[in-house]
Amino acid sequence: SKKAFIFDLDGVIVDTAKYHYKAWKKLANDLGFDFTEEQNELLKGVSRVRSLEILLNIGGVNLPEEEKIKIMQDKNEHYLQYITQMGQDEILEGMHEVLLYLKEQTIPFSLGSASKNARLILNQLELIDLFDAIVDGNDVSKAKPDPEVFLIAAEKLKTTPENCVVIEDAIAGVEAANIAGMVSIGIGDKNTLNEADFNLNSTSELTIEMIKELIKE
C-alpha cells in the first residue's frame, strides 16, 4: 500500500549540529571546561534537557534546577542567532529535490524531530509549506529512542507504521524507527548506524531512483 516518509531535521535536512556545538561550547567554556567536536556527537538527536545533562556530566559540574533552566535559555538564545541567519543554501545536498519529488508524486511526508526550533528552521529554509505534518520537540513527552515522535507522525499522515520510511542520522532515531515498526534509513557512518534497514553515507546518496524503489507498491 501507499508509502509515507518521515524526515529527521538536524543531520538530514540541514546541518544545525554545528550551531548547537558553538552554543554548547560557549556554555561549557563559561562554566570553565572544554567541549570538543567529538563529544558533540553525543548530543545528536538528543533533547535539549538531556543534552545539558550530558554536557554537565562531561564537565563534572552540578547545578541547581533554576540555574539549569536559565543556562538552557541562554544556550537557545545564542543558538537562535545562528539559526535566524540560515537560508535555503544550507539545505543538505539533494534533499530539496527529494521533497519536491515526493510532493509531485503526492506521497505524504512529515517531519519527526527532537528540536523545539523545528518550525522556525523549516521557515528559514522555506520548506515548511511542503510538509503534510510536523512533529517536533514541542509535541512529544518521550524523546527518541522512544518511538512516540514517529508514531504521532504516522497518525498525522493518516497511515500505519509499516507504510512509513524514516530518514535519520542519529542512533537514537534509527532505534526509534525500528521500535515503531517502520523502515529505517541511516544517513552517516554505517558502523554507527548498523541497526538501520538501509545505510547511506550522506544525503546525496538518497537519490530519486532510490525513492522510486522505496515507493513501489
As a whole number of angstroms, the distance between CA 110 and CA 176 comes to 15
Which DSSP string corresponds to 76-96?
HHHHHHHHTT--GGGBPTTHH
Window 104-143: residues binding ligand B16 (CB under 6 A): 113-117, 137
Q: Which does 47 bind (CB under 5 to 8 A by kind): Mg ion, ligand B16, none?
A: ligand B16
For residue 63, the minimal CB distance to Mg ion (Å) is 26
Paired sense of beta strands 164-168 and 4-7, if any: parallel
Residue 215 belongs to what H/E stretch? helix 208-215
Does position 48 interact with ligand B16 (CB under 6 A)? The reply is yes
Residue 214 belongs to what H/E stretch? helix 208-215
Active site residue 10: yes
Window 14-43: residues binding ligand B16 (CB under 6 A): 20, 43
Decide whether 42 or 208 has the Cβ nearer to ligand B16: 42
| Closest CA relative to residue 109, chosen from 56, 167, 55 | 167
Does position 171 interact with ligand B16 (CB under 6 A)? The reply is no
Does position 8 interact with ligand B16 (CB under 6 A)? The reply is yes
Q: Which does 116 bind (CB under 5 to 8 A by kind): ligand B16, Mg ion, none?
A: ligand B16
Radius of gyration from C-alpha coordinates of the chain: 17
Decide whether 2 or 142 has the Cβ nearer to ligand B16: 142
3 state SS of 156 = helix
Does position 3 interact with ligand B16 (CB under 6 A)? The reply is no
Residue with cell 535559555: 73
For residue 120, the minimal CB distance to ligand B16 (Å) is 9
User: Which of residues 51, 124, 159, 199 is near ligand B16 by CB under 6 A?
Assistant: 51
Angle at the Cα of 49 (from 154 to 121), degrees rounded to 5? 55
Give contact residues for ligand B16 (rule: CB under 6 A).
8-11, 20, 43-48, 51, 76, 113-117, 137, 170
> Which are the catalytic amino acids?
8, 10
